[in-house]
Amino acid sequence: MTAILKKELWSYFGNWSAWIIIGAFSLIGTLFIFFFDNDSNIFDIGIASLQSYFALCPWLLMFIIPALSMRSFAEEQQTGTLHWLFSQPLKISEIVAGKFLSVCIVGIFCIIPSLVYIYTIYVLGVPAGNMDMGATLGSYFGVVLLIAAFAAIGILASALSQNQIMAYLLGVFMCFILYFGVEQLASYKLLGGADFWLSNLGFYQHFIGFSRGLIDTKDVFYFALVIFICLCLATYFVKKKK
């Protein structure tokens, strides 16, 4: 697994693709939080808080993480290197885990520059330091779990697809449905009491608790279960290609 992880990280960081994605993520976040006239701008909302940033993160990650993961297996199949991978003394599960961890690491690197925002808002607070650090740290933990969940979905989409474009579109669609689509469907209240259970099937209800500084073991278990299921399915579909 370590060899696959190193190979994947080198493919991301060795050709500037990861740096471009990290830079684009940071630039978009900075523009929305400090410059653009919108509901996320901290100067417009007048609150020394990063919660608007954490509300924006899932939407950015929804498009960026599938872009990182789409090449995991779809590109290997297109270029014919997937059979070379199968010939190596590695288990399929190790290959899947190595590619999954590499996407997670790049995704985490995307949010590291935002740590500068903490200092900026800390200083801008009235009085200085008037900032809810518990909610901020809880939100970062939630974003890391969301990155891992999106990465697992992206890996599954890549394992299911024959080419990178299809892997990307399928990954974005699945992330969108699980984060936003399920929650919106539940909001129509078409199923009566079952709407509560439907809402809890999606990511939003489990992610939103972290933004309040609440780290609930049920939410952590939910994301861990989603990641496990997606990686198991990805392993199964990759084995079928062997």
| Ordered DSSP codes for 43-112 | HHHT---SHHHHHHHHHHHHHHHHHHHTTTTHHHHHHT-HHHHHTSS--HHHHHHHHHHHHHHHHHHHHG
Supply the pLDDT for residue 168. Answer: 95
Residue 73, pLDDT above cutoff 70: yes
Summarize pLDDT for 190-214 with one digit per residue, the tens: 666 676 677 788 898 889 888 877 8
Render pLDDT for 13-42 as a digit per residue (tens, 0 to 9).
988 888 999 999 999 989 888 888 777 777
Q: Which domain holds residue 235?
A: 2-241
Q: How many domains does the chain have?
A: 1
Whole-number pLDDT of residue 193 = 65
> pTM of the full predicted structure?
0.92
* pLDDT digit string, tens, across residues 133-144: 888 889 999 999
